[in-house]
Amino acid sequence: MDNRPIGVFDSGLGGLTVVRQRIKELPKERIVYFGDTGRVPYGTRGCDVISRYTAEDCAFLRRFDVKMIIAACGTASSVAPHVLKALPLPALGVVDATGAAAAAATKSGKIGVIGTAATVSTDAFGKAIRARAPQAQVFSQACPLFVPLVENGWIDPQDEVAIAIAKRYLQPLKDQQVDTLIMGCTHFPLLSPIFAEILGDGVTLIDAGRETAIAAHKMLEAGDALTADGDGECRFFVSDRPQGFADIAEMFLGRPIRANVETVDIARLSDTEA
């Protein structure tokens, strides 16, 4: 048993898809969440910058003596797995569990992947799928505009702008007749009702945050590292705009959190540590 918290990070709100699943499955586990809202988006940046941000986010979480780090960010997980591997504690990205879930779900073998431009450029999800289902055909689509939609709270299933953008991005995947779609950026499940409406019942949506929370549960269980008597406390840190984060996070998690959101100057902290 290990009563230390789990560290979770993302460039912003997307990692809440992991937190939401953790609340359902492991209500006693404590979480320290870092959303790098001051430097979002990650997905339009180069590999060196994304790797550096990933290392800094992990260093920040390690200040809390976390027992595990979850990179709840498709971009960091795809571009900087080497940073996660080099950590001296268990660490998990979103790619493997999500790729495995998609390979298990598809019937036609045609799988769509939507993610940030950086994620799509690595083909990380495609590799994870083909490792399990070598015959699978993977069609990837970069969807950078979904990230600012989510960060600005434009996530209502009736939102005309979000619907128009989603139609444009998803049409090529519809044309390929995928039967499974990986939402490979953790921001995207906040828009999933819109995707489901556009793609219809025949397409299974795979939520990277949810699959990763389930994988983390299994990993903690296997290492006998679940908490014995945790109180499920969630602490949230952001690098900018705590109010904007709290508003959308409360809507998404369905519980009040604003008293637990603090702001950190990640650039200054990282300079001090360097």
Helices (H) and strands (E) in the chain, counts: 13, 10
- Residues with Cβ within 8 Å of 95's Cβ and at least 6 positions away in sequence, in order, are 74, 77, 78, 81, 124, 125, 128, 184, 208
Question: Please, is 251 exposed, middle or buried when counting C-beta atoms within 10 Å of its C-beta (0-12, 13-18, 19+)?
Answer: exposed
Does 53 participate in binding ligand DGL (rule CB under 6 A)? no
Which residue among 58, 73, 143, 234 is the active-site one?
73
Q: Segment contacting ligand DGL (CB under 6 A): 38-46, 104-112, 190-198, 236-244?
A: 38-46
Does 93 participate in binding ligand DGL (rule CB under 6 A)? no
Q: Segment contacting ligand DGL (CB under 6 A): 7-15, 21-29, 134-142, 239-247?
A: 7-15
Does 186 participate in binding ligand DGL (rule CB under 6 A)? yes
The amino acid sitting at 256 is P
Does 112 participate in binding ligand DGL (rule CB under 6 A)? no
Number of residues that bind ligand DGL (CB under 6 A): 16
Tokens representing 161 are 């702008």
Question: Strand runs (DSSP E) across 116-246, as ranges?
Answer: 137-142, 180-183, 204-207, 234-238
Which residue's entry shows tokens 């590292």? Answer: 225
Task: Choose among 94, 77, 101: nearest CA to 206.
Answer: 101
Q: Of 21, 75, 122, 212, which one interacts with ligand DGL (CB under 6 A)?
A: 75
- Residues with Cβ within 8 Å of 118's Cβ and at least 6 positions away in sequence, in order, are 42, 43, 44, 45, 46, 47, 50, 75, 78, 79
Measured from the CB of residue 228, what is the shortest distance to ligand DGL in angstroms? Answer: 32
Active site residue 73: yes
Q: How far apart are CA 66 and CA 63, in angstroms?
A: 8
Q: Of 58, 68, 69, 73, which one interacts with ligand DGL (CB under 6 A)?
A: 73
Task: Choose among 67, 273, 61: nearest CA to 76.
Answer: 61
Does 37 participate in binding ligand DGL (rule CB under 6 A)? no
Q: Of 40, 101, 166, 205, which one interacts with ligand DGL (CB under 6 A)?
A: 40
Active site residue 143: no
Q: Of 32, 68, 100, 147, which one interacts with ligand DGL (CB under 6 A)?
A: 147
Does 113 participate in binding ligand DGL (rule CB under 6 A)? no
Does 35 participate in binding ligand DGL (rule CB under 6 A)? no
Which residue among 47, 58, 143, 185 is the active-site one?
185
Binding site residues, ligand DGL, CB under 6 A:
10-11, 14, 40-43, 73-75, 116, 119, 147, 185-187
